[in-house]
Amino acid sequence: MFELVQAAGGSYYIESPAKVGLVRLDGDAVCLIDSGSDKDAGRKIRQLLDANGWKLESIYNTHSNADHIGGNSYLQRQTGCRIYAPGMECCFTRHPVLEPSLLYGGCPGKDLRHKFLMASSSDAEPLSDAVLPEGMSIIPLPGHFLDMVGFRTSDDAVYLADCLASRETLDKYGLTFIYDVGAYISTLEMVRDMEARIFIPSHAAACEDISELACYNIAKVDEAAERICAACAEPLSSDEVIRRMFISYGLKMSMEQYVLVGSTVRSYLSWLRDSGRVEVLIEDSMVLWRRIG
């Protein structure tokens, strides 16, 4: 773990629970794509940088989930690097309590305010083309979270963040976190048709052809939508739909899993309603979801 792997030319990644990209710039300067899950990850990354005599200039965050920005604060304090994050993700990176607040839908209790859902705050600046190293470009990847992006380097290495999951993860859990299901499917369809020298997803193996994995992710989204529609053959509350998805996928309930899976199921319900596959009923002061047709 935390092994440095050369992907193409000066484009590397650090093998870790959420892969960290590393791109060599001029001389001994480097930048990172994301920073790992916590202070310990940041420390291991700095040790790797020091061992190679590299100076960290900047961190480009793909999105603000805690496992991607957890090393920001430590690395910024230690190196003085600048940190950039896209769109609304920049606000969440500066104010990480927003992540568990969004997932829970209210003020999160202390059992949701931990490093897996809430990173330490870092002084992030808005990401734009103007702050990127020469030859690097931004790839919008909406769906998994608010304004997630990926990056393409001058070596034609593409860092895909969390826009798809590994086949192993999908087979084990079935249901993965999604904020905007419609945007997520559009992103997967775009990624399916992309070409690059190498693709580097954060939670799947690097590969030269991403199309098969993208198609498998699309199929799993379709499967989840069908399971939720089937559950709503009778009018159900959101919590009852969530309960049935936990049972259907064999998932173990905890507060952390409740907010992650619950938020995802509610996102599916919104998308299914907007696309005319389920409807909302309000009965006896309860919001109920029912399949159409």
* CATH number for the domain that contains residue 278: 1.10.10
pLDDT at 199 over 90: yes
Burial class (CB in 10 A: 0-12, 13-18, 19+), 2: middle
How many domains does the structure of the chain reveal?
2
Distance CA 264, CA 45 (A): 31
* Any domain includes 211: no
- pTM above 0.85? yes
- Examine the domain organization and report whether 129 and 239 are in the same domain: no
What residue numbers bound the domain in which 234 lies? 230-291
220 within some domain: no
Query: Which of 81, 116, 135 finishes a domain?
Result: 135
The residue among 82, 110, 135 that closes a domain is 135
Q: SS3 of 232, please?
A: coil
Residues 238 and 126 in one domain: no
User: Is 197 within a domain?
Assistant: no
Any idea what the CATH number is for the domain that residue 92 is in?
Answer: 3.60.15.10
In this predicted model, what pLDDT tens digit does every residue of 160-184 receive, in sequence order?
999 999 999 999 999 999 999 999 9
User: Three-class SS of residue 33?
Assistant: strand
Per-residue pLDDT at 293 exceeds 90: no
Q: How far is CA 205 from CA 1, 22, 129, 184, 221, in A?
A: 14, 16, 27, 20, 20
Residue 94 in any domain: the answer is: yes
**135, 167, 185: which is the final residue of a domain?**
135
Model confidence pLDDT, tens digit, residues 99-136 = 999 999 999 999 999 999 999 999 999 999 999 999 99
| Mean residue pLDDT across the chain | 97
